[in-house]
């Protein structure tokens, strides 16, 4: 399968790219508004993985080319740019593609991080509004720490809650999540439930900030 990470040069994009490229046989495509930057980062990821003994299938292109080449497109840009990024690649998307939303909109003050959802309700729903009508949107990976994903020496043990209105698209993303060593995918219901998932992320960050030994905290349901 071809997986594109729009904004794959950022923290969460890097982590997912490295894990999929190391743990699976899927083709990983790093996207960016700047194709030269995407190519440079893909080469960096390739070198890191070669040092780890893996020869990955990874390349870097513009966001538009990445979306055109991929079957699953992860919108791993900052949440405020997610709708415009999807609009920019909309002509490259088809009804066989799946859009994935891992972003969470948060604010920060002296007390810590707070959930700050957009008017549409969730970041996933802003992507759904911007996407072509026939392209399903799935929420996933919001509660994973980017640092934990990117640190390939660390073992993961976390759950990924997957939400969406298209059952087949959800199964696809659940499978991709479980292709990463140490992750378990759980069905969180329809896309309307995504706010509950997104709102957990600032809680995890605040816990990690205020408690020793909880850096790069994730969730596991028992």
At residue 7 the predicted structure's pLDDT band, cuts being 50, 70 and 90, is very high
Confidence check: pLDDT of 214 > 90: no
What are the residues whose beta carbons fall under 8 Å from the beta carbon of 119, sequence distance 6 or more? none
Query: What is the rounded average pLDDT of the residues 31-43?
Result: 97
At residue 213 the predicted structure's pLDDT band, cuts being 50, 70 and 90, is confident
Beta carbons of 35 and 67 less than 8 angstroms apart: no
In this structure, the chain runs to a length of: 222
Query: What is the rounded average pLDDT of the residues 99-117?
Result: 97
At residue 89 the predicted structure's pLDDT band, cuts being 50, 70 and 90, is very high
What single-letter DSSP state applies at residue 199? T
CA nearest neighbour of 28 among 19, 39, 38, 17: 17
**pLDDT (tens digit per residue) in 176-208:** 999 999 999 999 999 999 999 999 999 999 999
Tokens matching residue 35: 């194709």
Confidence check: pLDDT of 21 > 90: yes
At residue 144 the predicted structure's pLDDT band, cuts being 50, 70 and 90, is very high
> 210 burial class (0-12, 13-18, 19+ CB within 10 angstroms)?
exposed
d(CA 74, CA 100): 5
Confidence check: pLDDT of 45 > 90: yes
d(CA 212, CA 177): 28
What single-letter DSSP state applies at residue 155? P
The answer to whether the predicted template modeling score (pTM) of the entire model surpasses 0.75 is yes
Confidence check: pLDDT of 98 > 90: yes
pLDDT reported for residue 189: 98
Beta carbons of 31 and 1 less than 8 angstroms apart: no
d(CA 156, CA 154): 6
Beta carbons of 64 and 88 less than 8 angstroms apart: yes
Q: In the predicted model, what is the mean pLDDT of the chain? A: 96
What are the residues whose beta carbons fall under 8 Å from the beta carbon of 48, sequence distance 6 or more? 18, 152
pLDDT reported for residue 155: 93
Query: What is the rounded average pLDDT of the residues 79-99?
Result: 97
């Amino acid at each position: 399968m071809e997986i594109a990470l729009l904004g794959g040069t950022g923290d969460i994009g890097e982590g997912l790219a490295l894990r999929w490229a190391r743990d699976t046989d899927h083709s990983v495509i790093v996207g960016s508004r700047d194709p030269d930057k995407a190519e440079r980062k893909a080469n960096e990821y390739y070198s890191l993985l070669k040092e780890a003994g893996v020869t990955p299938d990874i390349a870097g292109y513009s966001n538009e080319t990445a979306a055109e080449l991929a079957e699953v497109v992860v919108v791993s840009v900052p949440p405020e740019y997610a709708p415009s990024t999807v609009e920019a690649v909309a002509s490259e998307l088809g009804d066989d593609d799946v859009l994935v939303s891992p972003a969470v909109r948060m604010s920060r003050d002296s007390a810590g991080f707070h959930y700050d959802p957009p008017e549409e309700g969730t970041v996933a729903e802003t992507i759904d509004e911007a996407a072509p009508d026939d392209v399903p949107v799935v929420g996933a990976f919001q509660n994973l720490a980017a640092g934990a994903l990117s640190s390939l020496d660390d073992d993961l043990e976390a759950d990924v809650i997957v939400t969406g209105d298209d059952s087949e698209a959800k199964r696809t993303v659940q499978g991709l999540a479980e292709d990463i060593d140490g992750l378990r995918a759980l069905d969180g219901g329809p896309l309307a439930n995504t706010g509950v998932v997104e709102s957990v992320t600032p809680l995890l960050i605040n816990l990690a900030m205020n408690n020793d030994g909880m850096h790069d905290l994730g969730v596991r349901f028992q």
